Chains A and B, each alone.
Chain A
Amino acid sequence: MARYISMRLIQLVVIIFLISVLAFLLVHLLPGDPTIAILGPNDTPSARAELLRQLGLNRALPLQYWTWISHVIRGNLGSSFLTKQPVTNAIAVAFPIDLELIVVSQLMAFVIAIPLALIASRRPNRLFDRLATTSTFGMLSLPTFVIAVLLVLVFAVKIHAFPATGFTRISQGFGSNLRSVLLPSIALAVGSVAVYYRLLRADLISTLQEDFVTMARAKGLSTPYILLRHALRPSSFSLLAGAGISIGSLFTGAFVVEVLFQLPGIGYQLVTAINSRDYLMVQGMALVAAIAYVIINFIIDFLLTVLDPRVRHA
């Protein structure tokens, strides 16, 4: 187990290094000129050259990378070209928003999807299963922005139960904080419910046909007990793997929801920075999002090894 984890950690470091190189190179591939964004249309060739010198963008790429990564290792991601705000400050604003959105939305998704799948898998292709499968199929078909707009229209504009936009920090009150993330979390959870339900249902149906389940039934164990104690664990590998990909991608994939609810999360800040050629902000946000993604998947891999010893011996 220790050897497996050590190997995975080494892989993690290599992946993060490659991500840092890609994040660094990515911004050089973007079209447009950052000096335009900074100086505006009134710049001059000399002002532009001076700015490139000040920013170090006139030096060789490896030198630029070394300067950047040595600062990053010391926790200095630089400052936004445009707002002069330290990138770490922007991340400190964005990261808790995404973290809370992900935690709340994924909790909602698991709380709904797992019981649904357990009930549906008991009697496949019966009324409940068909209803649940059709409903989740509908959920998958609905784009997130449509769900978000509907939620705002009903719960914010008509009922006035939730704010339409904005994020209230937990330090400003837990109730207000929860109200501010509930609608966007529901918008994000809908798609996840559908995916998780379908993954778990399929695996559960397969597991319930295994010999050890037949044995448990023969021993007279109740169906709920069999489902929870014997079938759920071996059926959750696909669910976990899917959750890893889904949760990791939400760090940047929640962009649409973040725009509609005006939540300055990582996705929102990243796209804003890309549009304005805010190089250091793009690098910092992309780096954080990618590292969060690989760490989450590392944790998921670790959980899989705990749940299924075959994985670590593979």
Chain B
Amino acid sequence: MESSVHHEPEYAAHDANTRSTMACAANGTHGEDRGGYETTASRQSDGRLSLLVGVAGYSEAGGELSDTGRRYDRRTFLARGAGSAAALAVAGVGGPTMLSASTQPGIGIGGPRRGGTINVGMNSEIDGFLPSASHFDNTGITYASTVFDSLTVRAANGEARPYLAQSVTSNPDYTTWTITLRPNVTFHDSSPLTADVVVANFQAIRSSALTGQAVKPISGVKAVGDLQVVFTCNEPLVAFPQYLATQLGYVVALSQLESSNSTHPIGTGPFRYVSWVPNDHFTVEANPNYWRRGVPYLDGITFRPIIDDDSRQSSLLAGTIDLMVSHDPNAIATLRRNSSFQLVDDLNQSTGQPDMDFICLNVTAPPLNDLTVRQALAHATNAKEIVKLFGAGVTPVTSSLYPPGSPYRPAHNGYPTYDLAKAKRLVAQAAPRHGGAIKLTLGDIPDPRQLEIIQALQSMWMQAGFHVSLTDVQQVTYIDNLVTGNFQAYADEQFSAADPDLNYVWLSETTASGPIALNFARNKDPKLEAALQHGRTHADPAVRAEAYQTVDKLLAKDLPYLWLSRAPWSMSASNKVQNFAGPTLPSGGRAEGFRAGTFTTSQIWLKG
């Protein structure tokens, strides 16, 4: 256990109903780490010392986002004891299911210990460290949050909270957002974090072919003073703070931005770049001047991209690496039974949306432009059987874009159930319109497990009367074909997002046409677009829930996607690695520990 002085601000309660505010009011504070959760003591106006225990009870009502940390005075806190405080600290919706600090894998046991290094096995390699130019998959986001900081981060309940920003405030109709930055934050090259740097970063994001489309609703940005930036949107953008917790919200130093150097990251993050050899390793060392006092706990980390799932798992079992990320359900099934390792997975995560495995149908390509054909395919697809065969006994079947427990998942979305007889009838009904036989090609990348899955689907669909051929294409060609519409049916995996609006570009009819379309299925449905817009522009949770439930029902009706299963992610670590899924927010309260293969490294420590 370690105590350290914090000078962290706490979130203030918020103002009028018409404003969305996430504010941090700086006050002299004193914090103490207790077994992986963070408490912050603050001097109140009456001079009493109180502790803000880390439950960010994040409520949203009537257009107001508020952060209501629970307060306990010191006596109450001590009387309740560290155990109950820990339980409070880890309470919260979603994220890796957390029972208590002492029993939950990935949440630190005992006090943080400083020092040591770890080796981490990642499932992929990145192509650079420039948020405006590099493709950040789960490895990219993990690396980025190691050397950079984002303007906001997500709390355990999935909601965005200020991070490099001290506050993020909107006007009443969510068309103007004002970010106030934390003072006295410096980059690894000692340059200061200022409003001008944030503006330059955003301009790079906006002018980039890679990231520009995602920020299309934002029409203007300007610095107001040294630490304030104002963003102007074309339309209400309720989820703006969520966008700042993604690739779009990382802030890099001007020196890196101006040189367009994507190989040597310079950020404000908890670790500093040491070396990056693509396909071999990425090594970082602790940033001694990190603005969050007391962290990081580790002296350094070496990340190693180990692409082969089995090799990565063997490396963990052999002690070659200490922590690994996996997208293989077999890793969950295997390591669940091994008491020498801790396992955290996202199978019970209900905040936002997880990655989904599905078949993407190009609804403009014959015969899939025929709704009856798509309905027949849906009825011919036995997702339960696919999961039974390839899900290692852990992967849940899905028939919705949203997971169980999500407010956006309707009780019944009307998605077609497996019914071979009905599929056969629909095939017979549609076949005359397509020359007597319905022929289609199902494709995927040449991954052995994926190829087995599409072979099983081929067999199911052929039983219903389809003529199905298979194709496997390299990743780059696969993406090329998806965006240009040069496919009929592709096995796909997508849609992990903390907020449903983050999936707008993939589902909207505004991105469904042209030579390059991000709505890969090219599904155009005015009602769907209206529902997406409704969700995007309204802050009321009930209104948003209704909007996205409508989205789910319309997807079940239009059938651009044949749902198969959730695509589980997991993290596993040797028992010496502590708190790899239990980060806290600067104000206290649990931050999101693990989402779709991404995690934060600043609060990991090694058991003594």
A residues adjacent to B (C-beta < 8 A): 31-34, 36-37, 39-45, 47, 80, 82-85, 90, 93, 149, 152-153, 156-157, 160, 162-167, 259-262, 264, 268-269, 272, 274-277
Contact = CB atoms under 8 A, between A and B. Distances in A.
A179 B392 CA distance: 34
Contacts of B310: 149, 260
A275 B515 CA distance: 23
A262 B308 contact: yes
B5 interface: no
Interface in B295-315: 304-308, 310-312, 314-315
A43 B310 CA distance: 34
B404 interface: no
26 contacts: A32-B474, A32-B476, A32-B480, A41-B479, A43-B210, A45-B515, A45-B516, A83-B262, A85-B278, A153-B314, A156-B314, A157-B317, A157-B318, A160-B318, A163-B315, A164-B311, A164-B320, A165-B304, A166-B320, A259-B311, A262-B305, A262-B315, A264-B277, A272-B125, A272-B279, A276-B127
Interface residues of B, number: 45
Q: What 3 pairs between A and B have smallest CB-CB spacing?
A: A156-B318, A47-B209, A264-B279
A90 B278 contact: yes
Interface in B259-314: 261-263, 277-280, 304-308, 310-312, 314
Interface in B209-237: 209-214
Contacts of B312: 165
- From B121, B278, B321, name the one whose CB has the most chain A CB atoms within 10 angstroms: B278
A262 B518 contact: no
B477 A31 contact: yes
Given A45-B516, A80-B278, A149-B310, 7 more contacts: A34-B476, A36-B479, A36-B483, A42-B518, A43-B516, A156-B314, A260-B308
Contacts of A277: 476
Interface string B114-152: 000000010001011000000100000000000000000
Nearest to A41: B483
A42 B205 CA distance: 12
B262 A165 contact: no
A47 B475 CA distance: 21
Given A149-B310, A160-B318, A259-B307, A44 B516 contact: yes
A84 B210 contact: no
A163 B320 contact: yes
Interface string B498-524: 000000000000000001101000000
A250 to B, nearest CB: 18
A75 B125 CA distance: 27
A274 B475 CA distance: 10
A262 B306 contact: yes
Contacts of A153: 314
B315 A165 contact: yes
Given A36-B483, A44-B516, A80-B278, A152 B306 contact: no
Nearest to A31: B477
Contacts of A268: 279
Interface of B: 121, 125, 127-128, 135, 209-214, 261-263, 277-280, 304-308, 310-312, 314-315, 317-321, 473-477, 479-480, 482-483, 515-516, 518
Contacts of B278: 80, 83, 85, 90, 264
A37 B317 CA distance: 34
A165 B311 contact: yes
Given A85-B263, A157-B317, A264-B280, A39 B209 contact: yes
Contacts of B135: 40
A276 B314 contact: no
B513 to A, nearest CB: 14
Contacts, number: 127
A153 B307 CA distance: 18
B265 to A, nearest CB: 12
Given A165-B320, A269-B279, A83 B304 contact: no
Contacts of A41: 479, 482-483, 516, 518
A82 B480 contact: no
Contact of B476 (A36, A90, A165, A262): A36
B280 A259 contact: no
A31 B277 CA distance: 27
B203 to A, nearest CB: 16
B312 to A, nearest CB: 8
B309 to A, nearest CB: 11
A264 B277 CA distance: 9
A45 B263 CA distance: 27
Nearest to B121: A165
A71 B515 CA distance: 35
A44 B212 CA distance: 11
B69 to A, nearest CB: 38
A261 B315 CA distance: 9
A164 B279 contact: no
Contacts of A276: 127, 475-476
Nearest to B135: A40
B263 A83 contact: yes
Contacts of B477: 31-32
A260 B311 contact: yes
B311 A262 contact: yes
A84 B476 contact: no
A160 B319 contact: yes
B476 A39 contact: no
A45 to B, nearest CB: 6
A184 B28 CA distance: 57
Given A32-B480, A153-B314, A164-B311, A275 B474 contact: yes
A31 B483 CA distance: 15
Contacts of B318: 152, 156-157, 160, 162-164
A42 B211 contact: yes
Residue with the highest number of chain B CB atoms closer than 10 Å, among A153, A165, A259, A276: A165
Contacts of A259: 307-308, 311
A262 B308 CA distance: 8
Contacts of B474: 31-32, 274-275
Nearest to A265: B279
B335 to A, nearest CB: 13
A93 B280 contact: yes
Nearest to A163: B320
Contacts of B476: 32-34, 36-37, 275-277
A33 B474 CA distance: 11
A229 B209 CA distance: 70
A164 B320 CA distance: 6
B562 to A, nearest CB: 21
A262 B324 CA distance: 14
Nearest to A89: B277
B210 A39 contact: yes
Nearest to A97: B280
